[in-house]
Structure 1
Amino acid sequence: MSQRRKKNSSDGETKPRTSFVNKFFRSSKLRPTKAESRKKSNDLEAADFQPSDDAQKTENILDAAKPLPSEMELGSRMEKNEQFLQKLGRKAVNKCLDLNNCGLTTTDVREVVALLPLLPDLEKLDISWNDLIGGTLRSVTQQMHLVSKLKILRLGSCRLTTDDVRALGEALEAIPELEELNLSWNSKVGGNLPLILQKFQEGSKIQTLELVDCDLTSEDGAFVGQLLPMMQNLEVLDLSINRNIGGSLNSIAQGLKSTSNLKVLKLHSCGLSQKSVRILDAAFRYLCELRRLDLSCNKELGGGFEDSSAQLATLEHLEVLDLHQCSLTVDDVMSLTQVIPLLSSLQELDLSANKKMGGSSENLLSRLRFLPALKSLLINNCALQSETFTALAEASAHLPALEVFDLSWNKCIGGNLKLLLETLKFSESLQVLRLSSCSLVTEDVAVLASLIQTGHLAKLQKLILSYNDSICDTGWAIFCQNMWFLKELTELDISLRPSTSRDCGQWFRHLLCAVTTLPKITEIGMKRWILPATQEEELERFHQDHRCSIHFDLGEFQEADFPRLN
């Protein structure tokens, strides 16, 4: 996994800037220098001996004219540190040093080490996504005792070495206030986790522990289970993408029974099996504060919910449930039908990529009407059939808070979209509607256009209609002529399938006309639509006349990207 590196530079004159150290210490004080201490001592001694007024004035003038060497040194160091942060395009915010994704080098790490003694009140240090600092962490951890108030430490994707891991374990004892530790995407953490966390004491203040994709071993998982009872303040535990910890789930689940404050549990792609559901189910009764549960992408989980989902219903505060790509079986769906409707606080539900539920989820989807707080519903690629889609369409009328609705890759929707739109017209919150590759036909987009024309779906921000190649030019013309009603729209995608391409029809002119009235739109996906020369000219004139910043994504055929007028 990687993130795009960003380099910041400035041209022309630069305005005078307040020293970053002054800003950083706006509400904290520098430790007194030795010179200041000596000065206070000298002041006390001088109280017993008062020279003449003239002599005193002469001394004061000389003192003012000769700054103390230590003060000069401190000022020089502050200036260097300010230049260092400016070079990285970052600013120090009070009690927070964020160097995330700055492309730090070994030399830069030395600058960070020099900076830490000046930041005694530092509470957040983030040097994540700096791949080149692996092997240098010891120099940083040796200064940890100088930032003992640190509460947040993020070291994700730093290519930490075994020595880095060992050094970090030795240093954690020096920051007892630590509340968040993120070591994600560092493979050397795997097999060495005890070296890092072994000094955690009972009553630890840790609230967030993130170990995503750390190549954790089964032994590491067992160690986490033993450690959890010492972290009774834990609120977020993310062990995702550690495929070897499924075998130590017994230990982890036992430890979870002692984390009654846990709010987020993520076990995405952790090699969980059918029996894992039963093991976790026994722990759910102790997690009454749980808000988010992610068990997604555990393909062997299918069949595990058949007889082991009862305690899931006790999670009365659960807001997010992610079960996408879990190979749910017909019996799983039947069991979840009894449980999911009882989760009255549920706001996000993801059942995507479970194709076996397509013909067996009619009752489950029908009972979603009992989840009035639901904001996001993802059921894409579930092989829905006519009966299940009808049940879902009817239930959606009872979901007034729904903001995100994804039904992509369900072919049965083609020719039947009217069923859904009849109920969505009552929705006043919908912001994202995804209907990619749903075999939509011209009649479907005509009905959609009619609904838009009557003022419904007014809050829609993203509309994805890609890979519906059966819609003819007439259908796109009707849709584009009514697009201008979607004043909140920021993104539209009508791309064709990768295996096809087509010339744009006359509807493209209606699209350009509609876009001129949409103040927030920035992205229009039109991959594999080919613009004839005349339409390319229209697009160029559109740019010249309106100067708007809209990216027309035409894929490998053509690209059009214009700057917006300020």
Structure 2
Amino acid sequence: MGAGLSPGHEDPIWLQQPTIALSISKPLTSEMESGSRTEKINQFLQKLGLEAVNTCLDLNNCGLTTAHVQEIAALLPFLADLEKLDISWNDSVGGNLHSITQQMHLVSKLKILRLGGCSLTTDDVRALGEALKMIPELEELNLSWNSEVGGNLPMIFQKFQEGSKIQKLELVDCALTLEDGVFVGQLIPMLPDLEVLDLSINRNIGGILNIIAQGLKSASNLKVLNLHSCGLSQKSVQILDAAFRYMCELRKLDLSSNKELGGGFEDSPAQLATLEHLEVLDLHQCSLTVEDVVSLTQVIPLLSNLQELDLSANKKMGSSSENLLSRLRFLPALKILLINNCALESEAFNALAEASIHLHALQIFNLSWNKCVGGNLKLLLETLKLSTSLQVLRLSSCSLVTEDIILLASIIQRGHLASLQKLDLSYNDSICEKGWAVFCQSVWLLKELTELDISLRPSALQACGRWFRDLLCAVTKLPKITEIGMRRWILPVSQQEELNHQRGIHFDHGGFQ
């Protein structure tokens, strides 16, 4: 919800794993004493809500205990066809992984192993390294958010043979050392099928990027390269650019939250423009300079398959991005455009508005924290009328005025924005009661809407006007609405009680004053 929105990254692609509550009262051995062992195993797994487990055992974030880990290990001999094992985000796995790795040779068909956030110890890492040689079919390995992986990476992969089938390797926030980085550079050529490499939130990567980049020259099948918050510097851009020519299949490039990267694009990164299959380019919070923007103006419009572009939180772009934003019209496949908190000036916003008319596939549009939008929303009139695919529109802290919100209401009244699911109008405190009234009388037409945020700034308090009843009336006509942000709006007690009768809808009010 936008009430607490920071001007940072919009992330549309997270998948939520279901949580399974475990309730085991008897040891596995006693459960199996009579009858078919296989039948008893199936009965045991059904308790976990895992009826179809013959190829997949997903216990992600289940609050497993040490006893549970041991019982899972006891199951493995009877799961010879297991292809996926996910026990991520269970702290009790740490210090006890050996009980599972000792049985790993019995699940030699395993293709996916996820151990993210398991509090792994050095002994666990050592045991895992011994076990990996027992699962030659492994295609995906996730060790993210385990700090003890750092400094011990060679111990994990020392048994890997050239020609490994690994396609996806995730090592996010593993406290990787410079020595680990050197090892990664040497490991990549041994993974000919590698498609996804995520080294994000490892600050030492930037210091050894030249060796990793040499390894990337062998990664001809790589489709995703994530280097978010890796301590990259200006020199990193040129180092990576030299490797891009070998990564012709790359679909996603994430260089975000590397604040020292600014200035690195000044010498036009020619090879970046050759990534003809690139669909996602994330450069948010990279301290892009005026010169960077000039160079990127020559490159980004050539990425004709680009579907997601994140330039948010680069405040120096505001006065220099007019040419770049005007050329976004050459990206017809663009679905996600995040340009929030870029301090856009009026000329840049005008250019963006004109270009956005040509972005017919746009689904997510984030302009939050750009004050120049206020009083100028009319410039987006044609875009909002033509954007039949738009699902998320964020205009938080844009200094919107009453005329802007009335214009938005008129667009809704004409039947436009019919696909809109999330609308963020928070932190726009200059809209008067009339504006909110007109908007609330129209919002019921957005039948796909699930989230609406009209919260006030943290420093503001304001009494709800008569329009609040219009909002409550609209809510009854919105079949999919689940969340309404109304922080710092003051309601009389009688109206607060009315909220209690709105079943299935969470009114995020932050406590009525």
Question: TM-score, normalised on structure 2?
Answer: 0.93
Q: Give 2:453's match in structure 1, choosing from 476, 484, 493.
A: 493
Instruction: Give, in angstroms, the shift of residue 556 of structure 1.
Output: 2.4
Instruction: Give, in angstroms, the shift of residue 75 of structure 1.
Output: 3.6
Match of 1:431 in 2: 391
How far apart, CA to CA, are the structure 2 residues paired with 1:245 and 1:536?
52
Match of 1:554 in 2: 509
Structure 1 position 411 matched with structure 2 position 362: no
How far apart, CA to CA, are the structure 1 residues paired with 2:95 and 2:18?
21
1:414-448 Cα deviation digits (max 9, x unpaired): 11111112332111111100000001011100010
Q: How does 1:449-464 map to 2 (within 5 A)?
A: 449-464=409-424
One-letter identity of the residue aligned with 1:221: G
The 8 Å contact of residues 265 and 295 in structure 2, kept in 1 or not, is answered as yes
The SS at the match of 2:452 is strand
The 1:138/1:397 distance shift into structure 2, 3 A limit, reads same
Instruction: Give, in angstroms, the shift of residue 281 of structure 1.
Output: 0.1
One-letter identity of the residue aligned with 1:238: D
Q: Give 1:470's match in structure 2, choosing from 430, 433, 451.
A: 430
How far apart, CA to CA, are the structure 2 residues paired with 1:182 and 1:8?
23
Match of 1:258 in 2: 218
The 8 Å contact of residues 421 and 451 in structure 2, kept in 1 or not, is answered as yes
The 8 Å contact of residues 408 and 439 in structure 2, kept in 1 or not, is answered as yes
One-letter identity of the residue aligned with 1:190: G
The 1:414/1:301 distance shift into structure 2, 3 A limit, reads same
Match of 1:563 in 2: none
Structure 1 position 283 matched with structure 2 position 296: no
How far apart, CA to CA, are the structure 2 residues paired with 1:9 and 1:200?
35
Structure 1 position 508 matched with structure 2 position 468: yes
The SS at the match of 1:243 is coil
Match of 1:190 in 2: 150
One-letter identity of the residue aligned with 2:232: L
The SS at the match of 1:405 is strand
How far apart, CA to CA, are the structure 1 residues paired with 2:305 and 2:397?
31
The SS at the match of 1:271 is coil
Match of 1:8 in 2: 21
Match of 2:408 in 1: 448
Instruction: Give, in angstroms, the shift of residue 148 of structure 1.
Output: 0.6
How far apart, CA to CA, are the structure 1 residues paired with 2:123 and 2:497?
61
The SS at the match of 1:204 is coil
Instruction: Give, in angstroms, the shift of residue 538 of structure 1.
Output: 4.0
The 8 Å contact of residues 249 and 275 in structure 2, kept in 1 or not, is answered as yes
Structure 1 position 114 matched with structure 2 position 78: no
Q: Give 2:260's match in structure 1, choosing from 284, 300, 303.
A: 300
Q: Which runs of 5+ in 2 are unaligned?
A: 1-15
Q: How does 1:17-416 map to 2 (within 5 A)?
A: 73=33, 75=35, 77-78=37-38, 81-82=41-42, 84-86=44-46, 88-416=48-376
Instruction: Give, in angstroms, the shift of residue 514 of structure 1.
Output: 1.1
The 1:171/1:451 distance shift into structure 2, 3 A limit, reads same
Instruction: Give, in angstroms, the shift of residue 73 of structure 1.
Output: 4.9
The 8 Å contact of residues 165 and 192 in structure 1, kept in 2 or not, is answered as yes
The SS at the match of 2:441 is helix
Question: TM-score, normalised on structure 1?
Answer: 0.84
How far apart, CA to CA, are the structure 1 residues paired with 2:189 and 2:176?
19
One-letter identity of the residue aligned with 1:188: E
The SS at the match of 2:386 is coil
Aligned structure 1 segments of 4 or more residues deviating by more than 6 angstroms: none
Match of 1:39 in 2: none
How far apart, CA to CA, are the structure 2 residues paired with 1:358 and 1:160?
44
The 1:143/1:107 distance shift into structure 2, 3 A limit, reads same
Instruction: Give, in angstroms, the shift of residue 202 of structure 1.
Output: 1.1
Match of 1:484 in 2: 444
Instruction: Give, in angstroms, the shift of residue 80 of structure 1.
Output: 5.5
The 8 Å contact of residues 384 and 411 in structure 2, kept in 1 or not, is answered as no
The 8 Å contact of residues 57 and 84 in structure 2, kept in 1 or not, is answered as yes
Larger proportion of helix: 1
How far apart, CA to CA, are the structure 1 residues paired with 2:304 and 2:159?
40
The 1:394/1:294 distance shift into structure 2, 3 A limit, reads same
The 8 Å contact of residues 396 and 424 in structure 1, kept in 2 or not, is answered as no
Instruction: Give, in angstroms, the shift of residue 535 of structure 1.
Output: 2.0
Match of 1:33 in 2: none
The SS at the match of 1:321 is strand
The 8 Å contact of residues 69 and 92 in structure 2, kept in 1 or not, is answered as no
Instruction: Give, in angstroms, the shift of residue 81 of structure 1.
Output: 3.9
One-letter identity of the residue aligned with 1:8: A
How far apart, CA to CA, are the structure 1 residues paired with 2:18 and 2:58?
15
1:130-177 Cα deviation digits (max 9, x unpaired): 012211111111111111111111000000000000010011111000
The 8 Å contact of residues 88 and 102 in structure 1, kept in 2 or not, is answered as no
How far apart, CA to CA, are the structure 2 residues paired with 1:440 and 1:293?
33
The SS at the match of 1:265 is strand
The 8 Å contact of residues 84 and 111 in structure 1, kept in 2 or not, is answered as no
Instruction: Give, in angstroms, the shift of residue 533 of structure 1.
Output: 2.5
One-letter identity of the residue aligned with 2:21: N
Instruction: Give, in angstroms, the shift of residue 199 of structure 1.
Output: 1.5
How far apart, CA to CA, are the structure 2 residues paired with 1:291 and 1:434?
26
The 8 Å contact of residues 277 and 308 in structure 1, kept in 2 or not, is answered as no
Rg: which structure is higher?
A: 1
1:299-338 Cα deviation digits (max 9, x unpaired): 0000000114110000000000000000000000000000
The SS at the match of 1:425 is helix
Identity in percent: 80
The SS at the match of 1:195 is helix
How far apart, CA to CA, are the structure 2 residues paired with 1:249 and 1:7?
40
Instruction: Give, in angstroms, the shift of residue 5 of structure 1.
Output: 9.9
1:199-225 Cα deviation digits (max 9, x unpaired): 111111000000000000011011000
